[in-house]
Amino acid sequence: MHPETLAIYQNRPDDANAGAVAPPITLSTTFERDADGSFPHGHVYARTSNPNRNALETALAQLEGGFAGLAFSSGQAATLTLLLALRPGDHVLIGDDAYHGTPALLEELFHPWGLTYTRVDMTNLEAVRSSIHENTRLIWIETPSNPLLKIADIQAIADLAHEAGAWCACDNTWATPILQRPLDLGCDVVMHSTTKYIGGHSDVLSGTLIFREDNELYHRVRRYQLIGGAVAAPFDSWLLLRGIKTLATRVKTQSATARAVAEFLSRHPAVEVVHYPGLESHPGFAIAQKQMLLCGAMLSVQIRDGAEAAVRVAGQVRIFTRATSLGGIESLIEHRASVEGPNTTTPQNLLRMSIGLEHADDLIADLDQALFHAKPL
Ligand SMILES: *Cc1c(COP(=O)(O)O)cnc(C)c1O
């Protein structure tokens, strides 16, 4: 079955009580035992499992082609729980422009705990190879990357990881399983901030890990999810499962609109460069063609006249909303460097956009009038 069908067909509720077509939400934190002490429905306590979370975890695993999924209360909680499966003394390799929260976990939480890490340009396979140490246990890929949309070759990096006896993880938040399936390309685990495209409506904070096979890594993380306790709530799981049913349609439409916006921006005189992997001028174009179905709905632009001009342009949009985050049905724009703070390596004249479900012509007209303000009046 295609993912569009799978998302709907496999997620029909099995509601013996009422025959509900949309799934009920089970808020109960505890579940009744039989007289013989068994748990006839398989649930004991809501931190261990809950019907809504189970349904979500199964749906996520199916979409990514994995063995099992685990749902967490945020993307960061998912990443944190995966890193806990490493051991003090282990080394992690991570991209030089990964989502800023991931290196923050490595630096502020796990460095004192005993992990070391190296940041490397994941588009440079030689640099990746030479940064692998004897104690490297995890290579963390994020592609397209944030905010420069650099494209890493997932299969090549997964191969390098496995040659070195390391696990390979991919933050697939920006691509979604509709556009890119890292487990098929050799990764051991996929992470999502499901806050973004999978939820899709900017109203639920959550994250997931999806594992390729039933291995030691999965069992450690499953155990730490349970004892660590940062699980996805029943209502959040319900919202996410609803989001999954429209994921393919949303992402394909949003990607097509993003391409149109990127093409418009690449011809605009106020724009210095557009970072969108679907443009032939993008350095990752060939690898994106190889490993992605479409190039996604995120893009960044650098404004020719510098940081102040970029902030002026963001200040003039009417249809776009000035806000951080991504993946919702509404288009967002942000001056990324000021979100990331003083240690950022993001260019100061960069605006990041998340393209929503509005009509491409309206978004382009909005940017066109806003870009008029790139030059001071
Ligand atoms: C948002 C985001 C995260 C963090 O997820 P939260 O749900 O905010 O905790 C991680 N990686 C990427 C690529 C993201 O966009």
Q: What is the pLDDT of residues 85-129, one digit of tens each?
A: 999 999 999 999 899 999 999 999 999 999 999 999 999 999 999
Average pLDDT of the chain?
A: 96
pLDDT higher than 90, residue 219: yes
Q: Where are the beta strands (DSSP E) in the chain?
A: 68-72, 91-95, 116-120, 136-142, 167-171, 189-193, 207-211, 271-275, 298-303, 321-322, 332-335, 350-354
Confidence band of 10 (pLDDT split at 50, 70, 90): confident
Evaluate the omega torsion of the peptide bond into residue 147 and state whether it is cis, within 30 degrees of 0.
Answer: yes
User: Residues near ligand 1 with C-beta < 6 Å?
Assistant: 74-76, 99, 101, 142, 146, 171, 173-174, 193, 195-196, 205, 207
Q: How far is the CA of 193 from the centre of ligand 1 (A)?
A: 5
Residue ranges matching CATH 3.90.1150.10 in the chain: 247-373
Residue ranges matching CATH 3.40.640.10 in the chain: 3-245
Q: What is the mean pLDDT of residues 185-198?
A: 98
Question: Which class is domain 3-245?
Answer: alpha beta
pLDDT at 17: 86
Asked if 338 and 308 count as a contact pair (C-beta separation under 8 A), the reply is: no
For the CA of 174, the closest atom of ligand 1 is 13
pLDDT at 149: 97
Whether this model's pTM surpasses 0.85:
yes
Q: What is the mean pLDDT of residues 64-84?
A: 98
Asked if 189 and 82 count as a contact pair (C-beta separation under 8 A), the reply is: yes
Residue type, 110: F
pLDDT higher than 70, residue 271: yes
Asked if 264 and 276 count as a contact pair (C-beta separation under 8 A), the reply is: no
Could you read off the pLDDT of 132-171 as tens digits, one per residue? 999 999 999 999 999 999 999 999 999 999 999 999 999 9
Q: What is the mean pLDDT of residues 322-328?
A: 97
Q: What is the mean pLDDT of residues 188-205?
A: 98
pLDDT at 343: 81
pLDDT higher than 80, residue 376: no
Q: How far is the CA of 18 from the centre of ligand 1 (A)?
A: 37
Confidence band of 377 (pLDDT split at 50, 70, 90): low
Q: How far apart are CA 254 and CA 174, in angstroms?
A: 12
Please tell me the least confidently modeled range out of 41-50, 114-123, 221-230, 336-345. Answer: 336-345
Q: Kind and range of the H or E element at 3?
A: helix 3-9
Please tell me the least confidently modeled range out of 13-17, 70-74, 174-178. Answer: 13-17
Please tell me the least confidently modeled range out of 6-10, 158-162, 210-214, 279-283. Answer: 6-10
Indicate which residues carry an active-site annotation: 47, 99, 171, 196
For the CA of 76, the closest atom of ligand 1 is 9
pLDDT at 375: 82
For the CA of 142, the closest atom of ligand 1 is 13
pLDDT at 327: 98
Q: How far is the CA of 15 from the centre of ligand 1 (A)?
A: 33
Could you read off the pLDDT of 54-72 as tens digits, one per residue? 999 999 999 999 999 999 9
Domain 247-373 falls under CATH 3.30.1330.10: no
